[in-house]
Structure 1
C-alpha cells in the first residue's frame, strides 16, 4: 500500500497462477508479480518481472512469466513456513443429520456456487485459533461463523494485518491508520431448554413498534452485557487499542432487516420523533428512554451508560453479514455460476436532510457496472464515554454515528449506504437477456410512496 499502486489483476486459464500489475509510487515505473498456491493452497508471491518504463512492457513480461510458471511443479510455490493442512470449509466433518441445513444448502446448491468459491479460496487465510471453526460452521453455529468470516473479510479489505497469536478477542488488527480489537457478538433465537421460542408477531404496525421498542433492545442487551462482563480490555495484547463489539442479529430468519432501530435505541437510550421546527423543516426530536420491558424482563436503556461500558470504544453492526453477502461478493470476484442471476433489493440512506424515509434500490449483481465492498453498509456507533475513542478514519467506508448525553445525533455516511437488503437467486436464467431488460443499468432507485 505504501510502495506500489495496484493496476490490474490476471490469472492463468486454469486459475492456478495469479498475476498483479503494479506501478512503483516513487519511481513511477511498472512491474508484474506472480502468485501461486503454497502448501496450504494460499496464493502467495513467488516471483516477479523486472521494472519497465511502460505499462505495456510490464504486461507482456507478466504474461510470459505466468506462462512459464505453468511448467513448474507445485513445490515451486511452497514457502517453507506452512503449518498444518489446508483449511477445508465444505468437506463434511459430521454425519448428514448433524449438518446445519443452511450449510447443506450452501455446500450443494448451484445458486450458492459464488459463495462457495470465494469462501473456499479466501478463507484459507483464516486462522482457526480456537480449533473448532469448521466443525461449528457446518453444524451448530453456521450464522455465528459466517459473521466472523464477514468481519475477517472486511478487515482484510481495509488493509488490516491480523494477529494470529491470540484467540481473545476474536480480531486484533493493525493497519496504516491504526489498531483495533474486535469481539464478535451474535443475537440468537430465544430458547426454553432445548425448545426454540418463536419471536412475537409483527403483523401490525403496533406489533412492530413494540417489537422494536422493547423486545429487540432486550435481545441485543443480553449478549452485549454478557460480553461486557468478560472484561476484554484487561488483556495485555490489546492495551491502548480501541475495543469494539461487533454484533449481528440472527434471532429469527430475516430479522436483521428490521432491527437496526432497536439496536440504536438500546445503545444510546433515545428514540427520535419527526417534528417541524419554526421554519417548517422536518427535524428529529430526541425522546429519552428509561427502560425496556417485555413480559417479566426489564433492562435499563442505554448500553453506553452501563458501568464499565466506557471501556468499549464502539459497537459495529450491519445487516449484510450473511451468506448473501458472500454470494454477491463471489460474483464480483469471478466465481460466476453461469445461468444464475442475482437481484438485490433494499433501502439506503436518503442524503436529503428533509427526508423522513429511506430510498429504495434494485440492482442486478451480475451487471458490469455493479459494485460492492465488504465494508459497505457497516454502521459504527461511537461510545460518547469511551476511554479510548475510535477514530473514524480507522474504519473508512462505514457510516459513523455519534449521540451525546442530550440525544444530539450526528452521522457521517458514504453517499451509497444500504440500510438493509435481500438477494433473490434465479437459476436457469439467460443472464444477458435479463441485463438487457434491466435497461443496461446495474442499479436503479425509487422513493417510498
Structure 2
C-alpha cells in the first residue's frame, strides 16, 4: 500500500501535521521507512486507510502498528471480513477491535506543545494535582473510546430506537471466542506521561497517589471541569464482561517510530526511554541505539478482564514476553519480560547534551543523585551473560498486594 502518494480530492491544508512531518522532514526518513514497511503487506479491506493516515493519522498509524505486532507474533489474520478490525484464525482464535482516544473538542492541540512539555518527560508526575489533571482526563477519553467499541461488538439501539447489529451477531464471529479492544492514547499533549495509571484506575479501580507512592481503590472520579461522575473499575461491571482483555499503549508516537529506526539503522534523533525495572534503582535510563534497541513490543500492555465471559490467554503472546496485567484473589499482577516504558524523550538536538538529559531523568525519577546503571553490566555479573535485548530479560512477576498496596517481587 502506498501511504505517501498524493490523493485525489485531498488538498495540502487537509493533511495532518504529523503526516507532513513524516513526508517532508529529513529527520524522519527512518521513521517513514518503518511505516512504509508496516504498510507493505497490509490489506486495506475498507479502502480508506491511506486517506485516514494522511488526514487524521493516529487511528491509521495504530492499525498499522497492531498489524505489525500480530505479524511479529506469528498470527494468521483473516482478511476476508471488514469487521472486527482483526480476526485471528487458528487454534486460539480471537478478535481485536482497534480504537484511539483523541483530544477532546476544544482541548489544547498537539501543535501547541511547548519545549517545556517535551522536557517534562524527564520528570515523573509528583503531585496529586498534576496526577489528577493528567490521568483523569485520560480516564474520561479512554472510557469513551472503550464504550464506543464495546457497543460495536454487542450491538445497540440508535437515537430512533432502531437496533444496530453488533459484530457478535454476524455469522462469522463466535461469541465464545475472546473479544479484545486495542486502544492507543493521544488524548492530550502529554499523553506520553500517562503510563499505565489511567488503565489501572479505569479497568480495576486502582488509583495511584504520587505523593505516597501507593494505590487505593476508588469507584468514581469527577469528569474534569464538571460534577459528572466517571465510573472506575469497569472490569467489575456486568456490562463489560464481553471484553476479554484490552491492549493499551500510550507511546505509539513519532518518538516510537524514531526509536525503532534508531534501533536498526542510523537515525538523527536522540531517543531515551525511562524504563521501570523490578530491581532498584527502579527507573533505568535507556538510550536507544542499534546496540541497545527498542523492541516493537516495548510500551504495549495487555490488561486481562478477570470477570470476562470468555477469558483471554494466548500462548504466543505469553511466549513473546509482552507485559500482561491481571487481577486475582490476591491482588494485581504484572507478568512479562519487557521493562515497561514510563516515559520517552526524543529530540533532534539531544545528542549535544545527552549526558545531562540522562542524568537529569535518572535523578528525577529515582529521587536521588544520578546513578546511570547499565542493566547489561548488572545482568552480566549476576547471570554470566548479557541478554539479547538490553531491556528484555527472563520473565518477571510482580504483585501489588490488595491489603498492603505495596510492590512485592516474585520470580
**Would you say the 8 A contact 1:187–1:248 is kept in 2?**
yes
Which residue of structure 2 lines up, in the alignment, with residue 244 of structure 1?
A: 180
**Would you say the 8 A contact 2:38–2:65 is kept in 1?**
no
**Would you say the 8 A contact 1:319–1:419 is kept in 2?**
no
Kindly tell me: are residues 254 and 118 of structure 1, through their superposed partners in 2, closer, same or farther at Cα, counting changes over 3 Å?
same
- Equivalent of 1:257, from 193, 198, 213? 193
Q: Which has the higher helix share?
A: 2
Q: Which has the larger radius of gyration?
A: 1
2:64 aligned with 1:149? yes
2:143 aligned with 1:224? no
Aligned length: 329
How much has 1:248 moved relative to structure 2? 1.1
Which residue of structure 1 lines up, in the alignment, with residue 337 of structure 2?
A: 414
Distance, in Å, in 2 between the alignment partners of 1:135 and 1:208 is 37
Which residue of structure 1 lines up, in the alignment, with residue 18 of structure 2?
A: 102
**Would you say the 8 A contact 1:181–1:242 is kept in 2?**
yes
Distance, in Å, in 2 between the alignment partners of 1:212 and 1:100 is 24
Unpaired segments ≥5 residues, structure 2:
111-116, 155-166, 356-360, 368-411
Q: How does 1:110-259 map to 2 (within 5 A)?
A: 110-139=26-55, 141-174=56-89, 178-191=92-105, 195-196=106-107, 205-212=127-134, 214-230=136-152, 231=154, 232-239=167-174, 240-259=176-195
How much has 1:90 moved relative to structure 2? 0.7
Which residue of structure 2 lines up, in the alignment, with residue 448 of structure 1?
A: 366
Kindly tell me: are residues 317 and 213 of structure 1, through their superposed partners in 2, closer, same or farther at Cα, counting changes over 3 Å?
closer
| Alignment deviations for residues 78-130 of structure 1 (CA, whole Å, 9 cap, x no partner) | xxxxxxxxx21012222111111111111011111012122223312111111
Q: Which has the higher strand share?
A: 1
- Equivalent of 1:375, from 283, 294, 297? 297
- Equivalent of 2:309, from 373, 387, 400? 387
Distance, in Å, in 1 between the alignment partners of 2:284 and 2:74 is 31
- Equivalent of 2:4, from 73, 78, 90? 90
Which residue of structure 1 lines up, in the alignment, with residue 160 of structure 2?
A: none
TM-score, normalised to structure 1's length?
A: 0.66
Is the partner of 2:348 in helix, strand or coil? strand
**Would you say the 8 A contact 1:162–1:171 is kept in 2?**
yes
2:265 aligned with 1:323? no
TM-score, normalised to structure 2's length?
A: 0.71
Note the aligned Cα RMSD (angstroms).
3.3
Which residue of structure 2 lines up, in the alignment, with residue 346 of structure 1?
A: 273
Unpaired segments ≥5 residues, structure 1:
1-86, 276-281, 439-443
Higher relative contact order (Cα pairs below 8 Å, separated by 6+ residues)? 2
Is the partner of 2:238 in helix, strand or coil? coil
